[in-house]
Amino acid sequence: MASTFMARAIQLAVDNVRSGRGGPFGCVVVKDGKVVSEGVNRVTATNDPTAHAEMLAIREACQKLLCFELKGCELYTSCEPCPMCLSAIYWARIDKIYYGGLAEDAAKAGFDDSAIYAEIRQPLAQRKIPMVQTMREEALAAFRAWEDSPGRTVY
């Protein structure tokens, strides 16, 4: 079963490249043994740097299941998720990840997955994109408003 879903994720990745629509990545979200959604990389085709295969598959699965979490779902992706997609998988509370290629395979093909993982592991002050902290006291007002909001939907 698992190999069928992984084969589909890989096929999506290959087809995406051959059709010239985007990068070599495909993804399938599965629940109860059935495909809920599929995604392919559409960064360049849609001018959206967040349009990775996993992101689009997660977003579509949530639209179909009418929820903002995917508990009980598994994700099959043709390559180890980049840190953006891995974090999205955590935010979506997905149960399990199957992946084909490694981050280093993506790196070898010219993608920054490994480089971004390395950046995240750096202390903030040593990262390549400068990060400037400012106005923390003012910013805490948003969290105070959140905590004072009895009808808030926690996620």
Q: Which is nearer to a second copy, 35 or 84 (CB)?
A: 84
Spatial distance between the Cα atoms of 77 and 83, rounded to a whole number of angstroms: 13
Residue from 38, 54, 74, 80 carrying the catalytic annotation: 54
Q: Which is nearer to a second copy, 32 or 142 (CB)?
A: 142
- Write down the least CB distance from residue 34 to a second copy, Å: 19
Q: What's the start-to-end Cα distance of the chain, in Å? A: 31
Long-range Cβ pairs for the range 86-93 (8 Å, 24+): 88/54, 88/55, 88/58, 89/54, 89/58, 91/155, 92/58, 92/61, 92/62, 92/68, 93/69
- Write down the least CB distance from residue 35 to a second copy, Å: 17
Residue 74 known to be catalytic: no
- Write down the least CB distance from residue 46 to a second copy, Å: 8
Q: Which is nearer to a second copy, 3 or 126 (CB)?
A: 3
Sign, CA dihedral 15-16-17-18, equals positive
Active site residues: 54
